[in-house]
Amino acid sequence: MHCTHQGKGDAILFIHGMPTNRMLWSGIIEKLSSSHRCFAVDLPGMGETPFVPYSSGYLDRLAKRIELLRIQHGVKKWHVVGHDAGSAVAVQYAGSFSKHVGCLALLSPAIFPELKPFFLLNPLRKPLVGEVLAPVFHFLFWQIAMRRAIAGASNDTLLRAFYQPFSGITGAWQLMRLVRWGKPEDMLGEIPAKLATLPVPTLIFHGSRDVLPATFAERAASLIPHSKVVTLEAGHFIPLDQPKEVVACLRSFFAENCTAKVLPVRNRKQKKQTAHARTVVTETLNLDEHRSVAVVL
């Protein structure tokens, strides 16, 4: 699994979604590396990591490969940040290796069995139909859908980086192979149960213009014991649309929860007395206002 890292301080692991790569986090890492040691991986079949066939236990194997990276780089504990399908990998890792995770952050979390794959990729997921129509849908996806989703001249370089593994004569079929990851109910069926057992503080981001429904972020927050939701004025690619706001939220959340972990013993006992109450917080962040609503369940 290809991994890059830079900076110094508390470690953060960034996991991208499909079909991007580690470059998704470039703007975030540039701002955080002055105070954090930032790691970014390429998931299989994207960036510089070779494709790995899907099969039973795929997410668990990815989590174990990430744990090997942690050991290899001598990291005792890191915060884990995932976007889109990378959120499912992040949840799997945090659930399996929670003692090595400080905080968890999920952006546009595509983590529930009810997930509906992007409509332009659906034909590629069908046997025979995908093989025949792969070049057509490959063109439509990259030249129209992705260009609209990642708009702006400053993102042209990123778009080319995302496209690179799927370029050339066989690129269309490489994309087809990547998106044939299986049925959501099979690949993501165990995720809801894992969310309910996550012991780490979790920050969930939703974009107001995201193609994923807000109910995904809200449901995740209702299941994870120590979590809150932040809604930003953004599309699906929140790290590209609102990098400054994402960085500000991550800094604040990490600092807040690192401080909470070193509270005096007396304060921790007081907190345990109210541990039965689960609080879900939704925050809407704009340039000129900050509103928060708390609901106690």
Q: Which domains does the chain have, with CATH numbers?
A: 3-115+188-296 (3.40.50.1820), 122-183 (no CATH)
Q: Which helix (H) or strand (E) holds 1?
A: none
pLDDT at 108 over 90: yes
Residues 6+ apart with CB under 8 A from 48: 2, 21, 42
What is residue 47's predicted lDDT score, i.e. its pLDDT?
A: 92
Q: Report the percentage of the chain scoring pLDDT > 70.
A: 86
Assess contact for 80 and 93: CB atoms under 8 A.
yes
What's the rounded mean pLDDT across residues 150-174?
87
Q: Which helix (H) or strand (E) holds 42?
A: none
What's the rounded mean pLDDT across residues 62-73?
96
What is residue 122's predicted lDDT score, i.e. its pLDDT?
A: 86
pLDDT at 80 over 50: yes
pLDDT at 159 over 80: yes
What is residue 4's predicted lDDT score, i.e. its pLDDT?
A: 95
Between CA 89 and CA 175 the distance in angstroms is: 20
The chain-wide mean pLDDT, for the chain, equals 86
pLDDT digits (tens, 9 = 90+) for 232-282: 999 999 999 999 999 999 999 999 987 655 444 334 444 444 433 333 333
What is residue 152's predicted lDDT score, i.e. its pLDDT?
A: 65
233 CB burial (10 A radius; 0-12, 13-18, 19+):
middle
> Could you count the other beta carbons within 10 Å of the beta carbon of residue 175?
24
What is residue 259's predicted lDDT score, i.e. its pLDDT?
A: 62
- Tell me if residue 215 falls in helix, strand or coil: helix
Q: How far apart are the first and last CA of the chain?
A: 40
